[in-house]
Amino acid sequence: MKKLALNGGAKEVKGKFRPYNPIGVEEAEAAKRVLDSGILSDFLGCWDPRFYGGAKVQEFERACENYFGVPHAVTVNSWTAGLIAAIGAIGIEPGDEVIVPPWTMSATATAILHWNALPVFSDIESNYFCLDIAALEKNITPYTKAIIAVDIFGHSADMDAIMSVASKHGLKVVSDSAQAPGAMYKGRYAGTIANVGGYSLNYHKHIHTGEGGILVTDDEEIANKARLIRNHGEAVVGDMGRSELANMVGYNMRLGEIECAIGIEQLKKLDDFVSRRQAVAQRLTTGLSGLPGLTTPHLIDDCTHVYYVYPMVLQIDAVDASRTTIVDALTAEGIQGVFAGYTNIHLLPMYQRKIAYGTTGFPWNSEFTKRSICYDKGICPVAEELHDKTMFGLDLCRYDLCDDDVDQIIAAFWKVWSGLGLLG
């Protein structure tokens, strides 16, 4: 038996993984053309044709509509901004409750607080870590107005079930598909099934523009409201001839011409980037099958995973070793980007202390808030157990892995399992 690197043996994974760099010469040339034009942004925050942005914003939005098969794509300067615009555009009001999973990035929930509405955290299921449908139904109250379904790690939430619960209770649905551009859910792109959805274009993501985001919807009214929130809506509605002033506090969420020129080139490469990740993940899943106590990613039938990360779960009783020991041993073997657990947003200090704005507990203590919302440990037992004890993952997104790299990772897993005595 080979000595584990953790105990001073040789590493199984020899080299350093190459960082994943999706930006190529096409993006550089496209950015240079914009620079040469001298027009780095062409938005105007008033009722004017340029309210909708310049040539590259328009071209990128039409390319996104074409790719994702939606009538409206609205670019924004981050997906955090996109989420704020989406929640405002669906008409969320102070005191409304919006259901969100605890496994997401913090911005998904703060976008709700932004409109002085209240996040209600609802547990995930343990196969693909998205909203659990039974828990979701239990968390609906007379005050619930919307659900945010998060396509965490690159796999869609169960949108048929979520849309059916939403329609039964008259709720709107937002898809946070930040981590899942290009993932398919039963023949449609993740992000396009909800009332409104979208993707992050930050530099960690499958395709990126440094920072940025794309909001997609088939609802013209939601798209128009999102465009107003993106670009100083309060100053535009009057001249635009709109009487409706709900949620018309606008911002500068505008994405620049250079970013959009880069985005146009990136979008052309999305399918290729996704299929490269899928090939790596498929090879890993095949190579790791048979390791006792290890569960590799699950997929819903007729869905694809785009592997923002490669998530795994340990059956602690079967492996008889702590997750920390296993993660340390894998890292010592030279696997980069192994991480333990994900997050539990409801346990962040802001929710524990219920203070978002000011110092006195707003908006939980506002006159619009209808009831006390619980953020105690224990409200999302599946997410908490996965985070605290059993889930770990590989940051595939950060590396450009070839077959040989993947085979070394697989060999390292088998070595750790054998060195820790987990193979029986």
Q: What is the largest CA-CA distance in the chain?
A: 77
Q: Residue 176 CB, nearest distance to ligand PLP (Å)?
A: 5
Closest among 89, 96, 130, 135 to 113, alpha carbons compared: 96
Its sign, for the CA torsion 372, 373, 376, 381, is positive
Q: Of 202 and 285, which has the nearer Cβ to ligand PLP?
A: 202
For residue 258, the SS3 value is: helix
Q: Is 108 in the site for ligand PLP (CB under 6 A)?
A: yes
Q: Of 53 and 95, which has the nearer Cβ to ligand PLP?
A: 53
Other beta carbons within 10 angstroms of residue 75's beta carbon come to 29
Q: Is 79 in the site for ligand PLP (CB under 6 A)?
A: yes
Distance between CA 298 and CA 284 in Å, rounded? 13
Distance between CA 251 and CA 229 in Å, rounded? 6
Count the site residues for ligand PLP by CB under 6 A: 14
Long-range CB contacts (< 8 A, 24+ apart) of 37-43? Answer: 37/257, 39/257, 40/256, 40/257, 40/258, 41/254, 41/256, 41/257, 42/257, 43/231, 43/254
Q: Residue 80 CB, nearest distance to ligand PLP (Å)?
A: 3
Q: Of 78 and 390, which has the nearer Cβ to ligand PLP?
A: 78
Give the binding range for ligand PLP (CB under 6 A) out of 72-80, 94-102, 316-324, 395-403. 72-80
Structure tokens given for 148? 């945010």
- Per-state percent for the chain, helix, strand, coil, to nearest 5: 40, 15, 45
- Considering only residues 172-211, where is the footprint of ligand PLP by CB under 6 A? 176, 178-179, 200, 202
Distance between CA 90 and CA 373 in Å, rounded? 22
Q: Is 78 in the site for ligand PLP (CB under 6 A)?
A: yes
Q: Is 129 in the site for ligand PLP (CB under 6 A)?
A: no
- Considering only residues 223-242, where is the footprint of ligand PLP by CB under 6 A? none
For residue 350, the SS3 value is: helix
Q: Of 213 and 311, which has the nearer Cβ to ligand PLP?
A: 213
Q: Is 105 in the site for ligand PLP (CB under 6 A)?
A: yes
Q: Of 78 and 247, which has the nearer Cβ to ligand PLP?
A: 78
User: Residue 315: CB partners within 8 Å, gap ≥ 6?
Assistant: 293, 294, 295, 390
Give the binding range for ligand PLP (CB under 6 A) out of 100-108, 125-133, 337-345, 399-407. 100-108
Give the binding range for ligand PLP (CB under 6 A) out of 50-58, 76-84, 123-131, 167-175. 76-84
Q: Of 155 and 415, which has the nearer Cβ to ligand PLP?
A: 155
Cβ 212 vs Cβ 202: under 8 Å = yes
Q: Of 4 and 178, which has the nearer Cβ to ligand PLP?
A: 178
Q: Is 150 in the site for ligand PLP (CB under 6 A)?
A: yes
Q: Is 80 in the site for ligand PLP (CB under 6 A)?
A: yes
Q: Residue 1 CB, nearest distance to ligand PLP (Å)?
A: 40
Residues contributing to the site for ligand PLP (CB under 6 A): 78-80, 104-105, 107-108, 150, 176, 178-179, 200, 202, 213
